Structures are given as C-alpha cells and as structure tokens.
Amino acid sequence: MKLLVLTLMIVLPVYLVQEVIIMPYFPAKMEVGDVRAIWYTLSIWLISLFLYVFRIAVIKLSYHSLEGKQSTISDLMDFSVRLWPKILLTTLLYAISVTCGLMLFFFPGIILFVAYTFYQYVSVRTGLWGRKSLFLSSLYAKKSMGKAAAIAFGTVLIRYVLSYAVTSLEDVITNPILSAGTAILLFVLVELLSTLIDIFVSDYIFHTKLDFDLSILQNKKSTEHAEH
C-alpha cells in the first residue's frame, strides 16, 4: 500500500508534468543545435534526477520491511530528501568512473558498471556515500557477480525496451490525449518494475554478509565529521 501511495505521490505527477506540460511544446523533430532540444533534454534529465527521491524511499521501505520496522510516508520522504544530494553526487562519481573505464580499455568500464551497481542500496543501508559506497558495492557484487551483472544490465534493458515502446506508440497513436495517457502508463510501469528490482536487491544486500568490518568506514566518517 505504501509503495502505491509513493507512486501516486511522486511518479505519477512527474510523468504527468512531462507528458502534459513539457512534451506538447516540443515538435516531433528537432534539428541539431535547436535551443529547444537543449531545454527538452534538460527537462527530461531533471525529471530523472527527481525520481531518485522515489527510489530512495522504496529502498528504505524495503529495508524497514525486512527489519520489521514501521515507517510513515513522511518519514520515508524526509529520509529520501536528506540523502538525495549524496546519492546524486555518488551517481556522478559512478558515471565518471564507468565512462573513464570505457574510454580507456572498454572492459574496465563494464567491470566497474557491474561492480558499482549496488551503490544506491549501500548508501540507503549504511548512510555512506561517494567512494565508500562504491567500494562497498564492489564487495557485495564480488559475492555474486552473476546477480550484479543481471541487475545492472537487466535494469538498463527494461528501461530501454519500455522507452522504445513509448516512442513507437507515440508515433502510431495520433490522438494527443490517448498518446500522453499511454506514455504515462508505460513510464509508471517502468518505475513499478524498477521497484520490484529494488525490493529484490535490498533483500540481497540485507541478507549478504561481508568479510569486511563496516565500522571501519563508519568510524572514519564519524571522525572526519568531528574534525570539521
């Protein structure tokens, strides 16, 4: 029920804004260099960033369910908003690392893409972020590289296929209202499928024991905070 409420509160309004307010003001085809293309790309990028709030809340709710804790929607949202900037910075570091790996020898980029795929779940679980969460993600991935690879590539594949479906349907459906409604339903479906993946990965992280003393990183974090 809480997942449904979170979806209605965050995902649905965001995609309504995208399909009803943003999309109608952009032509079907935009030439390279068209300023409108820049604004369109920026708007979609900002929407994607905002949806991280939803994902953080889902992951936190999954952990609470596994721990048998009760959590309110307001508590989840408060936690998500506070952790959101750190997750975004870690995402940037993740993207830079993978891109550099791909540009150098390709395969290192693929390895980093898989190894660091759990960083969001680690951040929500431990409160750590940046290099620390990426490092911990690699430890969890090392426990089961098959699962890590399936999740990393599976998530990308699901989003690509459904996004392609949205584009194809928008070209076929001429009615603007029906086209927007179909796109919204498919985008929400993407988020719901991503939610199932988040629940599965949260369960994996929760039940996987690392051969590493997590308190080392957490104590270092506390020490650095005290020094500042």
73-129 pLDDT tens trace:
888 889 998 999 999 899 999 999 999 998 988 888 999 999 999 999 999 999 899
Q: Is residue 217 part of a domain?
A: no
Q: Which residues of the chain have pLDDT under 50?
A: 221-228
What total number of domains does the chain contain? 1
- Which helix (DSSP H) or strand (DSSP E) does residue 12 occupy? helix 12-16
Selection from 78, 49, 69 nearest residue 206 by Cα = 69
CB 134 within 8 A of CB 111: no
Q: Is residue 225 part of a domain?
A: no
Q: Is residue 79 part of a domain?
A: yes
Q: Is residue 149 part of a domain?
A: yes
Q: What is the pLDDT of residues 133-142, one digit of tens each?
A: 999 999 999 9
For the chain, the C-alpha Rg in angstroms (whole number) is: 19
CB 14 within 8 A of CB 51: yes
Domain that residue 105 falls in: 2-212
Q: Is residue 96 part of a domain?
A: yes
Q: What pLDDT score does 122 carry? A: 92
Question: Distance between the two ends of the chain, CA-based, in angstroms?
Answer: 42
CB 80 within 8 A of CB 57: yes
Phi then psi for residue 79, to 5 deg, are -60, -45
Q: What pLDDT score does 115 carry? A: 93
- Measured at the CA of 195, the angle between CA 126 and CA 125, to 5 degrees, comes to 5
* Rounded Cα gap, residues 195 and 116, in angstroms: 19
Q: Is residue 105 part of a domain?
A: yes
Q: What pLDDT score does 96 carry? A: 93
Q: What pLDDT score does 225 carry? A: 42
Amino acid letter for position 63: Y
**Whole-prediction pTM value?**
0.76
Q: Is residue 227 part of a domain?
A: no
Compute the residue count for the chain: 228
CB 119 within 8 A of CB 94: yes
Q: Is residue 223 part of a domain?
A: no
* Rounded Cα gap, residues 27 and 208, in angstroms: 49
